[in-house]
Amino acid sequence: MAPGAKKGILERLDAGEIVLGDGGFVFALEKRGYVKAGPWTPEAAAEHPEAVRQLHREFLRAGSNVMQTFTFYASDDKLENRGNTMRFSGQQINEAACDLAREVANEGDALVAGGVSQTPSYLSCKSENDVKAIFKKQIDVFVKKDVDFLIAEYFEHVEEAEWAVQVLKSTGKPVAATLCIGPDGDLNGVSPGVCAVKLVQAGAHIVGINCHFDPMTCVKTVKMMKEGVEKAGLKAHYMCQPLAYHTPDCNCQGFIDLPEFPFSLEPRILTRWDMQKYAREAYNVGIRYIGGCCGFEPYHVRALAEELAPERGILPKGSEKHGLWGSGLEMHTKPWVRARARRDYWENLKPASGRPFCPAMANPDGWGVTKGHADLMQQKEATSKDQLKLLFDKASKSH
């Protein structure tokens, strides 16, 4: 390795190092006013680069080792789906996102990962060649910008994820693949273990789970994937990038089925102490790429870094402003708050919601539709009032 060069993702994982991912850009930037809920597309990379750059920097300061390009849903078929105004092409967004991620990665010891995700074309039953062409268009930019590795993330169907991995593998760069599934498997009922085997056989070096479920559910699912891969006599590294929301009441579709999705999820947010438990559990089952997805803010990643500091031998710069286990409260003016400056207090606290008339858990929607169903066929035109009325009527009957 040349002097001053960074170790690649596989070099780090092969050496047993812990790699910390970043957090949920789509949700974080929606809350900050730079992403529109609904399409969830990443025009901000080209439209508001200063916002994307700042969020990258905050995750880097919190301890992230990977700057993932803000390219979630940046395929042209998604950018012009259901009346979304296509102000920037997928190529423009992907190029801008790569430049921003590289700029910030160069400010620390971070790598750049280019990411692709599931497509409206697959849900609408387009051919394998059509779907692969969409991925190819995206990775052409990632190759041109020379990202360090590639991630196929947020796939509900392992078949589409396999297609993505096959395209990503053609670049010769390391490939990671994460599904947004839980212990019940993908939306066709393929088990986590079988899904993982399929992804490794397709060419993924790193496999795991992202989004849709809380950390402990995702860790459990990755453990099932690991067992499947080992049983098949294969080898892989494992990653986990879950939600920052508690989801004990979710069905196989995950948090999208929760009635609170997406605008009233805040009562479910994990605390920094919950995140430390997640980091330890993930490490204990053999996961070495540990990060987050929707709901994850920089302080959550800092909690991962602080929990795993003994193994990593380093604390992030963000910990300069955070006393471990609340020790900074020793400086508080109020004595009863100073009395909380200890690990056992925060580790055993049962946080109250402050919502006396709200339930502890919800009754998720369960429409049971997946690829090929009429309700999931996508279109360029905006959703019509008649189409919405049918959905409103269906929703009323289901409750």
Q: Which residues contact 7 (CB under 8 A, 6 or more apart)?
A: 1, 15
CA–CA distance, 309 with 318 (Å, rounded to integer): 13
Q: In angstroms, rounded to a whole number, what is the distance separating the alpha carbons of residues 245 and 294?
A: 8
User: CA 7 to CA 336: how far, in whole Å?
Assistant: 47
A 10 A CB-CB count for 83 gives 13
Beta-bridge mates of residue 241: 210
Identify each DSSP E strand in the chain by its residue range: 19-20, 66-68, 111-116, 149-155, 175-179, 206-210, 237-241, 289-290
Residue 240 annotated as lining a ligand binding site: no
Q: Which string of b and e fits 86-119 if b means at least 16 CB within 10 Å?
A: eebebebbbbbbbbbbbebbeebebbbbbbbbbb
In the numeric block, the tokens 């919950």 are attached to 274
Residues annotated in the binding site, as ranges? 211, 293-294
The binding site for Zn(2+) consists of: 211, 293-294
